[in-house]
Amino acid sequence: MTVTLFIPCFIDLFYPQVGVAMVKILEKLGHRVACPEAPACCGQPAFNTGYWHESRAVAAKVLEQFKDAEVIVIASGSCGAMMKVFYPDLFAGTPHAQLAKTVSAKCYEFSQFLVEKLGVTDLGARFPHKVTYHDGCHSLREMHIHDAPRKLMASVRGLELIEMQQAVCCGFGGTFSAKFPMISTAMGEVKCDLALDTTAEYIVSSDSSCLMHIQGLIDRQRKPLKTLHLAEILAPS
């Protein structure tokens, strides 16, 4: 099938290797990948800050570009939740209401797409390291994705998954991290402490925006941890 990939701004600019890994995985599985160049954002920053009108200006472009897609795979659980869960709210009562529902129904987060839509769990990957998995909150609680990334990791040769004691937010929260940097930082520290308790070398996640925040703290505080997107582990070399 043709998979239309949504690459969020932070993956485009900071973590292109995550998008590249997804393209390689999808092509290896025999699918054609499409990726509209615009838009660069799903509209979540404005939406979460309360500026729904401004958010619609961004999101309407997404609807237009993705409306004919067969399936839409979003390279981030958070943007995925925006498109799948919040677009119908955002456009309710507007001329785009039906279109928002149509697009929403075609949206999958990357790990969810592999496991739930394609039924793939083993990509033949090898990663001989101890890892812990960070559930992005929007993946977990808005898109209800819990098992898919774990099934994918369970098939990775050599990978040992050690779960953290709590599935707690990393503290990123989009504009929250800039409006309340001190609370966001404290939350990130709690997250890193939970990860360190597992003795894992890597924090793996399906959301690069959480990882950007966590890695930023790790670098600043020189913690013995590294972050990786799940797709980077699964991609064929």
Partner 1 sequence: MSTAAVQFKRDARRLSADRRHREIINTALNKYAVKRDEKKALFQDWEGARQLAAEIKWEAVNHLDRYLEQFVRGLEARGTQVHWASTAQQARDLIVGIARSRNARSIVKSKAMTAEEIHLNEALEKAGFEVVESDLGEFIVQLREEAPYHIVFPAMHLTRGEIRETFEKKLHDAPSDEPEELTMVARRVLRQKYLQADVGITGANFAVAETGMISITENEGNARLTAALPKTMITLLGIEKVIPRLEDLALLLPMLATVGAGQLISGYNTMYGGPRQAGETDGPEEFHVVLLDHNRTALLADAEQRDSLHCIRCGACLNVCPIYRNVGGHTYGTTYPGPIGGVITPNLRGLQDWKHLSYASSLCGACTEACPVKIDLAHHLLQNRRNASQQKPSLWQKIAFKLFAPVANCRVLWILVTKLGRLGQKLHPLVLGKPFDPAYVWTKTRDLPPVAQQSFKEWWRQRP
List of residues contacting partner 1 (CB under 8 A):
7, 9, 11-20, 23, 35, 37-41, 43, 45-52, 54-55, 57-58, 61, 89, 137-138, 140-142, 166, 168-169, 171-174, 176-188, 190, 212-213, 215-217, 219-220
Q: Cβ 119 to partner 1, closest distance in Å? A: 27
Q: Cβ 220 to partner 1, closest distance in Å? A: 5
Torsion sign across C-alpha atoms 105, 88, 56, 76:
negative
Tell me how crowded residue 65 is: count the other CB atoms within 10 A of its CB: 18
Q: Cβ 20 to partner 1, closest distance in Å? A: 6
Amino acid letter at 138? H
Q: Could you give the CA distance from residue 133 to residue 160 in angstroms, rounded to a whole number?
A: 11
Q: Which of 161, 112, 115, 98 is nearest to 140 (CA)?
A: 112
Task: Please name the residue that has the structure tokens 């999101």.
Answer: 59
> Please, which residues bridge with residue 107 across strands?
72
Nearest 10 degrees: CA dihedral of 71, 48, 231, 200?
A: -150
Q: Cβ 157 to partner 1, closest distance in Å? A: 27
Q: Could you give the CA distance from residue 171 to residue 8 in angstroms, rounded to a whole number?
A: 19
Q: Cβ 122 to partner 1, closest distance in Å? A: 26
Q: Cβ 38 to partner 1, closest distance in Å? A: 5
Task: Spell out the alpha helix ranges (H) of 14-146.
Answer: 16-28, 44-49, 52-66, 77-81, 87-90, 97-105, 110-112, 137
Nearer to partner 1, 100 or 169 (CB): 169
Q: Cβ 87 to partner 1, closest distance in Å? A: 13
Q: What angle do CA 226, 227, 229 make, to 5 degrees?
A: 150
